[in-house]
Amino acid sequence: MIYRQRLWTRVTHWAWTLCLFFLLLSGLQIFMARPDLYIGQESGFAYDNTILSIGAFMDGAAMKGRTILFGHAFDTTGWLGAVWEGGRLQPKSFPSWLTIPGYRDLATGRVVHLFFAWGLAITLLVWLLASLINRHIKELLPTGDDIRHLPREAADHARLRFSREAGYNALQKLSYASVLFVALPLIIATGLTMSPGVNAWAPWMLDVFGGRQTARTIHFIVMLYLVLFFVVHIVMVVLAGPINELRSMITGWYRTDPESE
């Protein structure tokens, strides 16, 4: 047994889990107000810069959901665009269980989203300061040896061979670093770029991200990456031994393989 996860690592881990849960569901509530994504400075009926659109249409007497991605239309009836509620199809981007609140309420969704967005940003700052002080951040930075061992690590994971080592392996370092140093800062920055108040005192952010609509699209794509990371993360925890993994993130203590010591 080794003391692997420091207190601040564990506290911020669970704080991020809470924040990202509410940010995802409230963000989808906000997205329903305009379920389209654009690339460029502006958007509207006069522009042909839509890359994603979720909506409903009538096919005779039947309602159907349709999602258009890069000009290709997909039937998403029952899942996106037209969802089942109250025993019949409703013209709604997402099911009620996938948004906060479950009913259409843009104002409440924005309040919840903004509250937990501040929580996410503050948690990231706390983690960064604590990790610099206790040098945990150094454990997450990939080294030359990590890059050389990456093919072997990938092959072992593909064969479901997991080792319980004292430190992070190459895949863990790369995935955690991509979230902590790229995805989270980027989703915060693009979120700020969509704020008219921020645009007033930092108009250069619009130039950095190619306009508010492009920032919104990047924001959405990064959200999808974080959801994918979460799914893979949970699968890896289950396959590697959920009791040992959860114990380390709750108490800090982790059981390693004898040879790794």
pLDDT confidence of residue 144? 83
- pTM, to two decimals: 0.89
pLDDT confidence of residue 178? 93
d(CA 143, CA 183): 20
Q: Sign of the CA dihedral 228, 232, 237, 238?
A: positive
Q: Which amino acid is at 66?
A: R
pLDDT confidence of residue 47? 67
Dihedral over alpha carbons 189, 195, 196, 197 (to 10 degrees): -80
Q: How far is CA 239 from CA 2, 5, 156, 164, 258, in A?
A: 20, 20, 13, 12, 19
* Beta carbons of 98 and 89 less than 8 angstroms apart: no
DSSP 179: I
If one counts every other C-beta atom within 10 angstroms of the C-beta of residue 100, the result is: 21
CATH class of the domain defined by 2-32+103-260: mainly alpha
Domain boundaries, the chain: 2-32+103-260, 50-98
The two structure tokens encoding residue 83 = 């969802």
pLDDT confidence of residue 91? 92
Nearest residue to 139 via CA among 8, 16, 4, 2 = 4
Report, as ranges of residue numbers, the positions in the chain whose pLDDT lies below 50: 261
For the purposes of burial, counting CB atoms within 10 Å of the CB of 4, is it exposed (0-12), middle (13-18) or buried (19 or more)?
A: buried
